[in-house]
Amino acid sequence: MFNERMKRLGESRSVIRELFEYGKALAAERGKDKVFDFSIGNPNIPAPEEVNESIVKNLGDPTVHGYTSAQGDEGVRKKLAAYFSQKMGGPLPADRMYLTAGAAAALTATFSALAGAGDEIVVSAPFFPEYAVFSETAGCKLVAVPSDANFEPDIEAIGRALNSRTAAVIVNSPNNPAGNVYSENTVRALCRLVEKRSRETGRRIFIVSDEPYREITYGTEAVSPVKFYDDTVVCYSFSKTLSLAGERIGFAAVSGRAENGDELFAAICGAGRALGYVCAPSVFQRVVADCVGKTADIAVYRHNRDLLYGIVSRLGFECVKPEGAFYLFVKCPIEPDAFFEICKDEGVLVVPSESFGIAGYVRLAYCVDTDTIVRSEPYFERVAQRCKAYRERAEK
């Protein structure tokens, strides 16, 4: 009677969303001051003042709520294309940029344009869980390749995964969930590999660079593969940069050097049409054009990172200190299910790593009020004490 795949997706929300809803219910039961929700990457820093100023200015135009072109307003695309071409070091022409309601729509349309039945999209684990949903929507298969101990892409392992069915390789730096920023050497090596394997397999493999966290870095600037690899599609969102997660505005942009780039862009436009992703919100198209290059106060995230990393490290939890995004990826000190349940029981809400394609870790989002991190310390201490007791019982 119904589309069973869609029914299944509707009945089983992502683990992150489930925890977010659980946290709200737990806060109502115990009190907000006893629940510490590190589950969802929902920016807590106010948007730059320029955002509000732009909204007010644009609301004065009686035409602002009308349709734009399906792929987005031409003037907006020209302004964004000029900025991001310079910022990312590769040509992203306005006539190959498709504005979307967030990076999720950009990624889904891009996957659907690039791949179909029998095709594969390769990604390093850990990875953003919705990549699997977006790939399945395109009718293709997501192939996860384990990364190295520091969550850098394992170039040799990726090379073994690439074949004549491979449509694309996803690059996500800064990474969700690990928070690492790929070095220029790593990005260059990955681009060389994809170029080599494209020649060997006889199929042009694209790189899809998912960059919603590119401005949220702490001393190590993110490097986009569009700088080094012609057949790159950049998917971007202003959700994190401008703290506009609820407004849903981003884009997919095909490199100006891409082979058959006009045809690929036409396919992205077609996918947007088929999926209903046409005419992104017109007010916020104008807002991001007015505010391109601005960011929320990234220093707050750096402070939160240092504070939370200091707490978990002092208590003996293993974690690679992240260089970007706003997540800690912490190794479970005991059996993962038991660790997750202990955290939940203490009101510390973390995301288990299985949904990110790797076992034995949890993700903590530190885009929360700094006071939440400060107040959580004794609760993390109780988690650490209970983990110690768990190990002692297991050793008997």
pLDDT in tens, 372-383: 999 999 999 999
User: Is the pLDDT assigned to residue 14 strictly greater than 80?
Assistant: no
Triad 120, 106, 59: Cα angle to 5°: 175
Nearest to 284 by CA among 71, 106, 65, 110: 65
CA 7 to chain centre: 25
CA dihedral (333, 14, 128, 200) in degrees, to 10, reads: 110
Lookup: tokens for 393:
């019982």
The whole-number pLDDT of residue 87 equals 97
User: Is the pLDDT assigned to residue 75 strictly greater than 70?
Assistant: yes
Q: What is the mean pLDDT of residues 328-348?
A: 96
User: Is the pLDDT assigned to residue 265 strictly greater than 90?
Assistant: yes
CA 381 to chain centre: 30
Sequence-separated (6 or more) residues with CB below 8 Å from residue 138: 108, 111, 112, 114, 115, 116, 119, 121
**Residue 248 or 4, more confident:** 248
**Percent of residues, the chain, with pLDDT higher than 70:** 99
Q: How far apart are CA 366 and CA 300, in angstroms?
A: 10
Nearest to 216 by CA among 169, 253, 255, 180: 180
> Which residue is associated with the tokens 């791949």?
115
Give per-residue pLDDT as tens, 88-120. 999 999 999 999 999 999 999 999 999 999 999
Weakest mean pLDDT among 17-21, 33-37, 245-249: 17-21
Q: How far apart are CA 149 and CA 247, in angstroms?
A: 36
Q: What is the mean pLDDT of residues 65-69?
A: 96
Is residue 263 a contact partner of residue 114, using CB atoms and an 8 Å limit? no
Query: If you count them, how many residues does the chain have?
Result: 396
Give per-residue pLDDT as tens, 269-326. 999 999 999 999 999 999 999 999 999 999 999 999 999 999 999 999 999 999 999 9
Work out the pLDDT band at 13, boundaries 50, 70, 90.
Answer: low
Nearest to 311 by CA among 319, 300, 323, 299: 319
- From residue 198, give the alpha-carbon distance in Å to each of 202, 204, 209: 6, 5, 17
Instruction: Compute the mean pLDDT over every residue in the chain, rounded to the nearest whole number.
Output: 95
Sequence-separated (6 or more) residues with CB below 8 Å from residue 27: 34, 35, 37
User: Is the pLDDT assigned to residue 364 strictly greater than 70?
Assistant: yes
Query: Contacts by 306-311 with C-beta closer than 8 Å and gap 24+?
Result: 307/366, 307/370, 307/373, 307/374, 308/364, 308/366, 308/373, 311/373, 311/376, 311/377, 311/380
The whole-number pLDDT of residue 12 equals 67
User: Is the pLDDT assigned to residue 334 strictly greater than 80?
Assistant: yes
Cis amide leading into 126 (omega within 30): yes
SS (H, E, C) 13-81: CCHHHHHHHHHHHHHHHHCHHHCEECCCCCCCCCCCHHHHHHHHHHHCCCCCCCCCCCCCCHHHHHHHH
3-class state of residue 322 by DSSP: coil
Q: How far apart are CA 56 and CA 166, in angstroms?
A: 46
